[in-house]
Amino acid sequence: MFCHNCGAQNDDGSNFCKTCGINMLIQTNKTEARTISEKNWLVALLLCVVLGALGIHRFYVGKTGTGILMILTGGGFGIWILVDLILIATNSFTDADGLHLNRNMYNY
């Protein structure tokens, strides 16, 4: 029997995988869609405050096209920085995949 989590072969008849320890009788949904980004909102917030005119926070979350536009326009003449700062602070800002930034400081 092969483990559905790690793929290791377990021939001893046990219900638990020897490699990862998961119960092989319980099926998990590996196609579960992510709802939270891997990017941390505090890092994005600090980058926006410190280097907002350069759009570094946009490069951080994977939005390189708008990051380049922020460099060329000086952060949208300051207005774009303010809008992004409010969006990040209220957790309405999303990464390049459209996922909200991760507010958990200990889980990246």
What does the domain layout of the chain look like in residue ranges?
Answer: 1-32, 36-102
Are 19 and 3 a contacting pair, CB within 8 Å?
yes
Determine the straight-line distance between the first and last CA of the chain, rounded to whole angstroms.
33
Assign 86 to helix, strand or coil. helix
Place of tokens 């957790």: 91
pLDDT band at 36 (very low <50, low <70, confident <90, very high): confident
The pTM of the full predicted model, rounded to 2 decimals, is 0.65
Distance CA 100, CA 26 (A): 30
58-88 per-position pLDDT tens digit: 999 999 999 999 999 988 898 999 999 999 9
DSSP assignment of 44-82 equals HHHHHHHHGGGTHHHHHTT-HHHHHHHHHHHHHHTHHHH
Assign 22 to helix, strand or coil. coil
